[in-house]
Amino acid sequence: MHIADGVLPTSVAVAGYILSGGILAVSLRKISREDYPKIALMSSAFFVASLIHVPLGPTSVHLLLPGVVGIVLGNMSFIAITLGLTLQCVLFQFGGITALGANSLMMGLPALFAGWFFHLAARKISSPIGVSIIAGISGMLGVVLAGIILALLLFLSGEAFLNIAKIVLLAHIPIAIIEGIVAAAMVSFLRKAKPELINVRPA
């Protein structure tokens, strides 16, 4: 789910850079040295997962992991997403330089929302199964929101991209389900093996 160079109008591409730059600046002001390893870990996971593409009709799909990144990093997730997208763009030409700001918004905003939703909801649940279910919902939300933002960006690019937007949305329904399962399993494992990575505080 990457937007290539030349797809977005100049005004949309510039607005994407301005908005993503603002969010990134705010996020960078809130991190400390202790956060660096966790950000690097999740950025690497996002980077690798997004490289594995599976053809599906006229498009292709791959794991996105905005929900997983958001659950682990919370307010720092936008940093990891932007870093991963930048490396993919520079090293493998996934997406485009002009669309990097928009791609960061498309993936980073869902990560922020999924992380916020998970930590808000999980604080009110004491059952480990309940927390895993919330994680699964968060994982699905991350993909669904990314698809909606992508469809909106393509809509702003012109009517020629509307059919592509519909196809991409449908193609990522199974990905949303898979990511929900992945997020639930990951949270269940980390709460036992490395609970400080999840850091759910009771309400």
Does residue 4 sit within a domain? no
- β-strand partners of 56: 59
- pLDDT band, residue 19 (cuts 50/70/90): very high
Establish if 5 belongs to a structural domain: no
In a domain, 106, yes or no: yes
Q: Is residue 203 part of a domain?
A: no
Do residues 8 and 42 make contact, with C-beta atoms less than 8 angstroms apart? Answer: no
What confidence tier does 6 reach under pLDDT thresholds 50, 70, 90? Answer: confident
Question: What values do phi and psi take at 66, rounded to 5?
Answer: -65, -35
Q: Taking 70 as the threshold, does the pLDDT of residue 59 lie above it?
A: no
pLDDT of residue 174: 84
Assigned domain for 3 exists: no
Amino acid letter at 71? I
Question: Is it the case that residue 11 has pLDDT exceeding 60?
Answer: yes
Q: What burial letters (b/e) apply to 54-69, b meaning 16+ CB within 10 Å? A: eebeeeebbbbbbbbb
What lies within 8 Å, CB to CB, of 133 at 6+ separation is: 184
Q: Would you place residue 101 in the very low, low, confident or very high pLDDT band (cuts 50, 70, 90)?
A: very high
- What does the pLDDT look like over 142-179, one tens digit per residue? 999 998 898 888 777 766 666 777 777 777 788 899 89
Domain hosting 44: range is 10-197
Q: Rounded mean pLDDT of 41-47?
A: 88
pTM of the predicted model as reported, rounded to 2 decimal places: 0.87
Is residue 202 over pLDDT 70? no
Evaluate whether residue 17 is within a structural domain.
Answer: yes
Q: Is 157 exposed, middle or buried (0-12, 13-18, 19+ CB in 10 A)?
A: buried
Closest by CA to 97, choosing from 8, 24, 1, 158, is 8
Q: What is the mean pLDDT of residues 7-21?
A: 91
Within a domain: 149: yes
Lowest mean pLDDT among 22-36, 47-61, 125-139, 186-200: 47-61
Q: What is the mean pLDDT of residues 78-89?
A: 92
| Beta-bridge partner residues of 59 | 56
Strand-pairing partners, residue 55, are: 60
Q: What is the CATH number of the domain that holds 30?
A: 1.10.1760.20
The answer to whether position 1 is within a domain reads no
How many independent structural domains does the chain possess? 1
